[in-house]
Structure 1
Amino acid sequence: MNFFEYIIAPFIFIIKQIFLFSYDITGNYGISVILLSFAISVLLLPVFFLIEKTKKRNDTVKQKMKPLLDEIKRCYKGQERYYYIKTLNRQHNYSNSKALIPILSLLLQIPFFIAAYQFLDNYEPLSGINFGFINDLKKPDGLFGIINFLPIAMTLINLITAYFYTKNGDPSEKKQMLLVAVLFLILLFNLPAALVLYWTMNNVFSFFRLFITHPEVFKKPDLKTFINKIYLQLNPLRKKLRLFLAVITLIAIGTQISWAIQFNFDTIVMRLFLAIAGSFLLTIITAFAIVSYKINKEKILKIKIRPQLFFILLFSAIYFFFASWFFFTGTNDVLLLIAILFLLPSQLIGLINFVQIKKSVKKTSFIIAACILMLTLAYQIICLVILIEGTPVAYQIFNIEFIITGNTWLHFAEAGIIATILTIPYYWKNNAIQTYLPGKHYWLIVILSLAYIFGLIFFWNPLIVYSSYPENFYFPAIAILSQNFIPFIICIGISIFIFILFPKKVKYLFLIFILSLTLLAFLYCNIIPFDIGTLQVNFFSNEQNLVQSPFYFFIENIFILTVFIIVYHIIKRNFVKPVIWGLIILNFTIIAQSLFVSINTGHFYHTKNTQNENDSINNIKGKISFSKDNKNVVLFIIDGAQGWFMNDILNEKPELQNIFSGFTYYPNTLAMSTFTYASVPSIMCGFDYSVENMNKEQDKNISSKITNASELFLKKIKQKGYYFTSTSHCYSNIDYKKIDNYLPEWHPSWSYELELGKPSEMWYTRLWENALFSCAPLSLKPLIYNNKKWLVSKQTDINSNEFHKYNFQRVLPEICDNKSDETNFIYIHSLFTHPPWDVMNDNKNFIRFASPYANFRWFVKTFIQWIEWMKKNDVYDNTKIVLVSDHGVGWSLHERIEVKVPVNWEENTAIDPRNFLHLNALLLIKDFNSKVPLKKDWRLMSSADASSIVFDENDPTKSDSTSRTIKAYITKWVQDIDNTNVYDISDEFEVKDNIFDLKNWKKIK
């Protein structure tokens, strides 16, 4: 038990005893919570009386001091003022700490509140217990969907109490109580209903306590005077109200008769009665609203809200509205509620200022604006009606039917934001807000800011991302500059043209806006980048990080507001030269950094892939030769294929057993690691190049270790007298001139074989979209990401990477021949099943965002075409084929796991499903002259066994013993393998005999 628990334990004991005693008496948990609240209030009542008595005494002293205090503040400044005030306080025996006395009543309740929270939250019998409209005391009441009624009722009671408590007191106390009310609304909104009920009743008892401590605030006004006041206001409106009543009644009666004509007259009398009664009620409400306005007109016209507060409230409402609307997993109700809480006061402030400015604007423009505002308010009311009724609202205008449905709170907030934005010009004029354009140099600020923002998006950030892994791209870095130059010029040109058209006041706002965007773009891209993982063409590896708690959005909102406020004061104080120099330095730094890193990659003017292929042009034949008479060995690495998928496909299509004749499928196969760069060396060279063994050589970087594995692999092949045909070796720097027949990523002649055109290079667009994504706040990132669809790209777009990896598989039957006289070793590493997972339908249309299983099924279909070519050309029987994957599917990159393996996860103590599936590799083996239909072998295998099988060295498939223990590693991705010497192992496992029995998994690290 820690110190806090020692302190709170007595309070929990008191809460528990009172609650259980109340339940013993009533047998009702809801009433017990109310009695608990009442008991605590009674228990603290003497202390409250003492606090109020002390407060009143201090208030009397403050009133006596006030004239002298005001005089001192008027006449003196600095230390002199401080010492005079200190002397005055001493003379009246007053201390500033006594100003905190009103807060004592709240502080006194906090320990009981915390104790009630801990007790009620952990009290399981409350689960599923209903009380009145509360369905479950352990959950928020959810009376209106996302809107919980109890916290709102609690806040209203707090506000009423604050109104009466401070009616004759210090206005600063009212602000404190309002702040506390809002704070508790936010804190308690999504807490269990039992706790909110406890605190709500506590506030109710606090209100009734005012009748004892502050009876003077409840004195009744003179009723006769009040009635006369209302009569004087209503008397001039009698004719207008009669006309209003007549028009409303006629419309109501007309609609009911129209409805009866269309349907039936069975209930026409009741409908007409309700229509007339409703018209009277609406007239009374209208009269009440008009009278209330006239009585309080002077007060309303005197209301002044600081512009900073209005714009902060409006910005926060818009920010949280977008954060809710574009939330990664769908509309977020909590963020939407926060948006509405910010919207309502800002909308009210806007409407008040709109009314105040009435006499200062043209009547026509005011009427038009008023009509638009009335329509938006009416729309909001309709949304509220839908929420209460729970059914959509349909209506017709000129035979056009309109239906309002869906997330009505979203529509409510949307209409409110539009209405509030419409009041901004009137608010601006009513408050006479001054603008501060910083002389003639503001143009330079605008141009430099635009150059930084659009340069960062179209040039500099794409170059930096390109430079992080240039081997992934099939175009030089300079192509980014040439491809994006026109969009860059267009965006800057349009922005400057719009700026020229703006009036002076709007130019001032635009200047603040564009300079703030520049600062935010710099901060988001360079200082506080958002961790979303690596970009896999269409999606991020850690896209789930887009889902953050409301607290994160709250902090980001404050952060953005702070940036805008800082920029506002910079412009206001005319710090032009420092701003210009700062922008020049920002532009120069980002340009220099991006050009430096991109030029140093060696890919700035041309790609290394192209350079290598040109250097080794003599051994690029663009063909794969098999021998009909001599042996052929094929080692086919299919990157990221799920081992268990083959089992599902065989169950789905049993006829594949004959097509894959000669093959043995090993479902019980374990990958060496979860990443290619850690698994491929062992596929080439066996367990000598396991992750553990490679980590023993700590003086070499990972890149050189992989290259060593490639060279040893090549050496073995040449020693056995094979003619070597090979694709590129992933992450290896092997000299491809040593390979007899090097297969490039793509050969120009292959396009003619498949009658293909040139692919559109998606990366040009994706890189600037990614830059925009990096610059944007979290509230807008999902909008740009668009659930992997992004802003511009279509589902049928394809880039060079995808064009090559998919069509290479399709072109295999077209580029193979059987004219070789040598023994052949064919090594192919295909990224076909590597994310992103896409497919091509029967009409050869490219379809994006397929499931990993659909993608694998397409791979099997294309692989079968290659098998059929081998059979047709008499090279199948004399060919050994090893089809192996380096690891299984990384399901964290997909929305959900879509494979069912024969595993009882309840027995699991060592590994979670995602890591298990990531280590489940594919392994199919066809030996020479094997012809029987495909069979399954359940012995434990490893992806590292591929080397022993292809070289026929201690082949485990030919061993009589089937009992084995194999190690596997969960490794972390490291991009800079040239400067990293060891693999970062997060988990290490030993697995015995059967990977599907989780009891056989032993975690050793």
Structure 2
Amino acid sequence: MSVGQLLYQLLIFPLEIVIEAVYGFSFIIFRSYGWAIFPLSLAVNLLLLPFYKRADAIQREESDRQKEMAPFLTHIKKTFHGDERYMMIQAFYRENNYKPIYALRSSLPLLLQIPFFIAAYHFLSNLSPLSGFRFLCFSDLGAPDKLLSVGGYSINLLPILMTLINVISSEIYSKGKALKDRLQLHGMALIFLILLYNSPSGLVIYWTLNNLFSLVKNIISSLPKPQIAACIAYSLISVSTLSYALVFYKGDPSYRSFLLVITFIFLVPAIRMLPEKELGSSAKKKEKAHKTKPAVDTDTSSHHKCFISGAIFLSLLTGLLIPSEIIRSSPGEFVLISYYRSPLWHLAASLLLSTGFFVIWLGLLYYLGSRSIRKNISCAVWIFSIVGVVDYFLFGKGLGMLTSELHYSALSIRIAASEFLINSCVVVAISALLFLIYRKFRRAVTFIYPLLILSVLGMGIFNTLKISRALPQIREVLSHQTTEEPSFTLSRTGQNVVVIMVDRGLSPFLPYIFQEKPELETQFSGFTWYPNTLSMGANTISGSPELFGGYDYIPQKMNIRKDEKMVDKHNEALKVMPVVFSEGGFDVTVCDPPYAGYSNIPDLSIYDDYPQIKAYNTEHGQFRDLENDNADKELIWRRNFFCYSFMKLLPLFLQDTAYQEGTYFSGDSLTYVQRASSMSESMGYNSEFMDSYYALSAFPEMTVPTDEDSNHFLMITNSMPHNIALLSEPEYEPSLIIDNTEYDR
């Protein structure tokens, strides 16, 4: 990971995650990639509002300070020269407790925009669904708008409109300020015009809406009674949200309840502003009284300690402990077969992301907030920390198999009603108790946090060491992966014995398959179907040894050999048929022996003692575009470890919403998650299914026919049925968008 990637993961990617989540939720509500940009802009700007308010206050304070010092500095510059002038200015600054670097505080509102701009630019510029999407007068949200053509040249009007709005907003904001400040704002408007002129129109729409929000904010601030105007604005947003939820929204009822919650959230500031009087002498007295309070008191100090400790704890919990628990369970699943990179890198990326989210950005929100906001944030972090620990360790277990992309085999999270009710009661009770503890016994909180941090850090280090000890075996497995293209020979004249294990394939489906595809029944003429067969094990790892090795490897017989390791007995079963046929003069090929070496990526070294046996792995991306596939996987791991961890800390009634069928509101999840809206409709691909599908589709390429009178044995496993996916009928082929409703009869 380069320094640039490290800084991006720490500073920008947390913001991109937030932007992506808001956009994903907005898309679910509006079902339009274009309209989803509008609530995204509103949400991000409202999120930034406390930042901007505090930044504006700091800027005003700096401006007033400079105006106060200006006459003295002017006098010094006129009177003194050279080193003497420099020394006098420095002495003057020291007397006034001022440092020249403080001048940067006047640029704080502009500096705050930069990381948000980078995050939004990267997200919307690379959002593949925008490409080719028509919206209003825009033919393609993934390309410049080109709304005006003159003499064969296209002019992008939207960036120009964006700049005009920005200039007007800047004029209102900088009214009465120095020319330097006004030029700075107009210069930034020009820079954004240059940067965004040829950008995708979806991104420019977003930034235009941001400027429009800024314009409205500045107009409200310039009014004689800004609080009344702000109250009206919040009320309009609340009424609009309520109207859409009750009248226009036709989707999942659970999301309607979220819209109603959002309505209430916007009503809160509106109601709070109703009794407030205009900004006059009373407000100034409050501000003056606030300034006369000690900068640091015991109460404020305890809030600081609690927040910092809580932010560090949540960073370690979501960035180290939970991801390390996942990787420790099966380290080989988080290593790319095409090139080795330690899965500990994924831990580092996850820890950077969680640190950026909780320590840096939440910390900045805390720092820029008022005393009451700081107190509320610190208390909320305390409650979320403990409730999250309870949710993670005690609830939401047994949700199914977790894939390497951090989604369950079942798309939605299904929780028993009893557990749901118990969790809700526990969360409410614990939250009330924690709130009371924070209000009455805050010193105890400052003692509890270090214990929690040390516990999480200790468990995380333990998991990391366990992962490290598993890495040599993984490297050994990968070293036995041949770069040779998988192939097997079948003879037209000799004997061919083919054993295919279709993992999780259901024998009772066979008559229905033949009924729908009669040509298959003809092709399978001469084969025997045994309908009354059962596996000796409930899982692949326990059911496959007896399939490949015979009755000597059923669980009962294997358990008799107590002095031998299970992995050795498992490997022995996988070698029975290949060795027997090899000794019988057959040319032997083995593909994907399940859990060979008890490794998710089959350890082909179990056949090293038999050089005449050819062994390949085919289901781990060998037939995909490895370069793009690896990049996608790395991005998934960079993102989803944190998203999964955060989801597991939520109360159960929120987990399925955050989970989003394993996408965690990702804008580009269609390459690795198939989202089924019904039994007949879906969008996207199941990544693991596609690996098995590509391997199965490559059978003709892997097969080498020969006319020699030779005998050949092939033992191969394919896991396509194991990874459930909806296929397009009647061909039963994977497709990005599937609609089989016309066949539902």
Is 1:515 the counterpart of 2:382? The answer is yes
Deviations 1:420-440 (A, max 9, x none): 46446789999x999986454
2:323 is matched with: 462
Amino acid across the alignment from 2:534: L
**1: distance between equivalents of 2:619 and 2:715?**
15
Is 1:591 the counterpart of 2:460? The answer is yes
Offset at 1:519? 2.7
Offset at 1:814? 1.1
Is 1:719 the counterpart of 2:589? The answer is no
Amino acid across the alignment from 2:435: F
Is 1:600 the counterpart of 2:469? The answer is yes
Is 1:768 the counterpart of 2:638? The answer is no
Offset at 1:750? 4.7
Offset at 1:581? 3.0
**1: distance between equivalents of 2:309 and 2:486?**
50
Secondary structure class of the residue paired with 1:791: coil
Is 1:566 the counterpart of 2:453? The answer is no
**1: distance between equivalents of 2:506 and 2:315?**
42
Query: Residues 696-845 of structure 1: matches in 2 within 5 Å?
Result: 696-698=560-562, 700=564, 702-733=566-597, 735-739=606-610, 740-745=613-618, 750=623, 760-761=632-633, 762-792=636-666, 794-797=669-672, 801-819=688-706, 822-837=710-725, 839=727
2:391–2:649: 8 Å Cα contact kept in structure 1? Answer: yes
1:637–1:828: 8 Å Cα contact kept in structure 2? Answer: yes
Secondary structure class of the residue paired with 2:617: coil
Offset at 1:727? 2.1
Amino acid across the alignment from 1:831: S
Offset at 1:744? 2.0
Secondary structure class of the residue paired with 2:373: helix
2:728–2:739: 8 Å Cα contact kept in structure 1? Answer: no
1:631 is matched with: 495
**2: distance between equivalents of 1:587 and 1:679?**
37
2:391–2:652: 8 Å Cα contact kept in structure 1? Answer: no
2:267 is matched with: 419
1:769–1:791: 8 Å Cα contact kept in structure 2? Answer: no
- In structure 2, relative to structure 1, the CA distance for the partners of 1:482 and 1:622 (3 Å cut) is farther
1:248 is matched with: none
Secondary structure class of the residue paired with 1:837: coil
- In structure 2, relative to structure 1, the CA distance for the partners of 1:687 and 1:813 (3 Å cut) is same
Deviations 1:154-191 (A, max 9, x none): xxxxxxxxxxxxxxxxxxxxxxxxxxxxxxxxxxxxxx
2:319–2:642: 8 Å Cα contact kept in structure 1? Answer: yes
**2: distance between equivalents of 1:526 and 1:552?**
12
Offset at 1:627? 2.7
Offset at 1:812? 1.9
Query: Residues 123-162 of structure 1: matches in 2 within 5 Å?
Result: none
Is 1:679 the counterpart of 2:543? The answer is yes
Name the TM-score, length of structure 2 as normaliser. Answer: 0.53
Offset at 1:827? 0.7
- In structure 2, relative to structure 1, the CA distance for the partners of 1:735 and 1:613 (3 Å cut) is same
Amino acid across the alignment from 1:472: E
**1: distance between equivalents of 2:265 and 2:446?**
37
- In structure 2, relative to structure 1, the CA distance for the partners of 1:474 and 1:839 (3 Å cut) is farther
2:333 is matched with: 472
Deviations 1:719-770 (A, max 9, x none): 3232221124323427131351011246897558x99965721455443332
**2: distance between equivalents of 1:747 and 1:673?**
24
2:571–2:596: 8 Å Cα contact kept in structure 1? Answer: yes
Query: Residues 327-476 of structure 1: matches in 2 within 5 Å?
Result: 364=225, 367-368=228-229, 415-416=263-264, 418-420=266-268, 422-423=270-271, 438-440=299-301, 442-443=303-304, 445-475=306-336, 476=342
2:589–2:713: 8 Å Cα contact kept in structure 1? Answer: yes
Offset at 1:473? 3.2
Secondary structure class of the residue paired with 2:664: coil
Offset at 1:503? 1.2
2:671–2:687: 8 Å Cα contact kept in structure 1? Answer: no
- In structure 2, relative to structure 1, the CA distance for the partners of 1:830 and 1:765 (3 Å cut) is farther
1:290 is matched with: none
Deviations 1:84-114 (A, max 9, x none): xxxxxxxxxxxxxxxxxxxxxxxxxxxxxxx
2:414 is matched with: 544
Offset at 1:774? 1.6
Secondary structure class of the residue paired with 2:314: helix
1:613–1:744: 8 Å Cα contact kept in structure 2? Answer: no
Offset at 1:648? 1.6
- The counterpart of 2:425, out of the listed 537, 548, 554, is 554
2:20 is matched with: none
Deviations 1:305-355 (A, max 9, x none): xxxxxxxxxxxxxxxxxxxxxxxxxxxxxxxxxxxxxxxxxxxxxxxxxxx
Offset at 1:691? 3.5
1:487 is matched with: 353
Amino acid across the alignment from 1:630: G
- In structure 2, relative to structure 1, the CA distance for the partners of 1:715 and 1:411 (3 Å cut) is closer
Offset at 1:507? 0.9
**2: distance between equivalents of 1:708 and 1:773?**
41
Amino acid across the alignment from 1:591: G
- In structure 2, relative to structure 1, the CA distance for the partners of 1:718 and 1:493 (3 Å cut) is same
Offset at 1:840? 7.8
Offset at 1:477? 1.5
1:530–1:774: 8 Å Cα contact kept in structure 2? Answer: no
Amino acid across the alignment from 2:507: G
Offset at 1:811? 1.6
Query: Residues 270-281 of structure 1: matches in 2 within 5 Å?
Result: none
Offset at 1:565? 2.8
Query: Residues 796-945 of structure 1: matches in 2 within 5 Å?
Result: 796-797=671-672, 801-819=688-706, 822-837=710-725, 839=727, 847=736
Offset at 1:505? 1.6
**1: distance between equivalents of 2:547 and 2:250?**
60
1:65 is matched with: none
- The counterpart of 1:646, out of the listed 510, 524, 527, is 510
1:840–1:847: 8 Å Cα contact kept in structure 2? Answer: no
Deviations 1:681-732 (A, max 9, x none): 2211223333443344455554343233224344423332322211243234
1:499 is matched with: 366
Name the TM-score, length of structure 1 as normaliser. Answer: 0.41
Q: How many residues of Structure 1 are paired with residues of Structure 2 in the alignment?
A: 471
Offset at 1:448? 3.9
1:636–1:828: 8 Å Cα contact kept in structure 2? Answer: yes
**1: distance between equivalents of 2:301 and 2:310?**
16
Larger RCO (CA within 8 A; separation ≥ 6): 2
- In structure 2, relative to structure 1, the CA distance for the partners of 1:651 and 1:421 (3 Å cut) is farther
2:235–2:266: 8 Å Cα contact kept in structure 1? Answer: no
What is the root-mean-square deviation of aligned Cα atoms in Å? 4.8
Deviations 1:379-399 (A, max 9, x none): 99999xx9xxxxx86xxxxxx
**2: distance between equivalents of 1:472 and 1:724?**
28
Is 1:614 the counterpart of 2:479? The answer is yes
**1: distance between equivalents of 2:250 and 2:696?**
51
- In structure 2, relative to structure 1, the CA distance for the partners of 1:405 and 1:649 (3 Å cut) is closer
Task: Please identify the structure whose Cα radius of gyration is greater.
Answer: 1
Secondary structure class of the residue paired with 2:518: coil
1:466–1:477: 8 Å Cα contact kept in structure 2? Answer: yes
**2: distance between equivalents of 1:790 and 1:472?**
20
**2: distance between equivalents of 1:848 and 1:458?**
34
1:725–1:741: 8 Å Cα contact kept in structure 2? Answer: yes
